[in-house]
């Protein structure tokens, strides 16, 4: 029996092929987003809204980024005039505070700060795929993008529906990638944030971004409010060579 000129058997085959293709596309999206893990289906650690104010950083020397030991301070490029500092609450905590510092002359000025989230299991100095921890370190910020149109970003911006979180993830995660800024960890600079190339290999993870917050820890990314992401996109300037310094506060302050 025919149905609209197509045999039922053909319809069944087409449906199977469509489901299979959808599965492949979902997998590809997952592999290129936030450390490559299915962070939409995990536990919501730190789900409750944080009401405490951003942590005041020690600023005894205005020529330095506060609360950074020399070993991290030295890794900030000499030509960098914008630093996004991510101060994690603790080694195993998903909560953090993001502070934007801008350099004027030889002085670093605290520009803005926001509550944020990092990897749901905290931080690590040896990040690997799927460990649910954010990598500690200093990384450049060179590319941005997202599902939504460019809000006025200074960094190169790629708008694409390919950034969208799969709809089989929890609904609270659907807008995570409306705006993203690539953290240059195990990626090729000058490419869209969702480029899957991993120069150090897949086991080292990748696809680690600043992105929209869903109210809890991430797979490895750092997440902020929509207004914070818009501000950073409009403010981070490639001519000022922005970098992110990120880690749990104890590690960032430690000299070892």
Q: Is residue 211 part of a domain?
A: yes
Q: What is the pLDDT of residue 59?
A: 59
Q: Is residue 57 part of a domain?
A: no
Q: How far apart are CA 184 and CA 232, in angstroms?
A: 16
Q: Is residue 26 part of a domain?
A: no
Beta-bridge mates of residue 135:
124
Q: How far apart are CA 69 and CA 146, in angstroms?
A: 34
Q: What is the pLDDT of residue 191?
A: 98
Q: What is the pLDDT of residue 22?
A: 40
SS3 assignment, position 177: coil
pLDDT, tens digit, for every residue of 183-221? Answer: 999 999 999 999 999 999 999 999 999 999 999 999 999
Return the structure tokens found at 242: 């922005």
Q: Is residue 21 part of a domain?
A: no
* pLDDT-flagged residues of the chain (< 70): 1-59
Q: Is residue 240 part of a domain?
A: yes
Q: What is the pLDDT of residue 240?
A: 98
Q: What is the pLDDT of residue 256?
A: 81
Q: Is residue 15 part of a domain?
A: no
Backbone Cα Rg of the chain: 20
Q: Is residue 220 part of a domain?
A: yes
Q: How far apart are CA 23 and CA 18, in angstroms?
A: 9
Q: How far apart are CA 164 and CA 136, in angstroms?
A: 26
Q: What is the pLDDT of residue 21?
A: 36
Within the chain, where are the H helices? Answer: 8-31, 70-73, 226-235, 249-253
Where are the extended beta strands (E) located within the chain? Answer: 2-3, 6-7, 82-88, 95-104, 107-117, 123-124, 134-135, 137-146, 157-159, 180-183, 209-212, 222-224, 243-248
Q: How many independent structural domains does the chain possess?
A: 1
Q: What is the pLDDT of residue 122?
A: 98
Q: Is residue 236 part of a domain?
A: yes
Kindly state the greatest CA–CA separation across the chain: 82
Looking up residue 103, the CATH number of its domain turns out to be 2.40.440.10
Residues whose CB is less than 8 angstroms from the CB of residue 235 and which lie 6 or more positions away in sequence, other chains included: 82, 100, 111, 154
Is 0.75 topped by the overall pTM? yes
Q: What is the pLDDT of residue 216?
A: 97
Q: How far apart are CA 166 and CA 5, in angstroms?
A: 33
**Domain with 224 in it:** 70-253
What's phi and psi for 35, nearest 5 deg? 80, 5
Q: What is the pLDDT of residue 60?
A: 79
């Amino acid at each position: 029996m025919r149905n609209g000129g197509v045999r039922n058997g053909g319809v069944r085959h087409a449906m199977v092929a469509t489901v299979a293709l959808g599965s492949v596309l979902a997998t590809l999206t997952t592999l290129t987003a936030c450390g490559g893990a299915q962070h939409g289906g995990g536990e919501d650690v730190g789900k409750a809204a944080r009401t405490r104010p951003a942590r005041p950083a020690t600023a005894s020397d205005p020529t330095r980024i506060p609360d950074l030991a020399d070993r991290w301070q030295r890794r900030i490029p000499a030509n960098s005039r914008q630093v996004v500092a991510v101060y994690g609450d603790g080694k195993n905590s998903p909560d953090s505070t993001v502070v934007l510092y801008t350099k004027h002359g030889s002085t670093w000025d605290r520009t803005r700060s926001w509550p944020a989230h990092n990897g749901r299991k905290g931080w690590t100095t040896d990040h690997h795929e799927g460990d649910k921890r954010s990598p500690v370190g200093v990384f450049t910020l060179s590319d941005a993008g997202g599902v939504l149109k460019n809000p006025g970003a200074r960094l190169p911006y790629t708008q694409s529906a390919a950034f969208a979180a799969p709809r089989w993830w929890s609904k609270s995660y659907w807008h995570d990638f409306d705006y993203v800024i690539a953290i240059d960890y195990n990626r090729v600079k000058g490419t869209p944030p969702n480029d899957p190339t991993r120069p150090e290999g897949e086991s080292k993870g990748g696809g680690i971004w600043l992105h929209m917050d869903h109210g809890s820890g991430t797979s490895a990314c750092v997440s902020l409010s929509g207004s914070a992401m818009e501000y950073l996109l409009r403010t981070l300037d490639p001519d000022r060579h922005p970098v992110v310094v990120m880690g749990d506060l104890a590690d960032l302050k430690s000299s070892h």
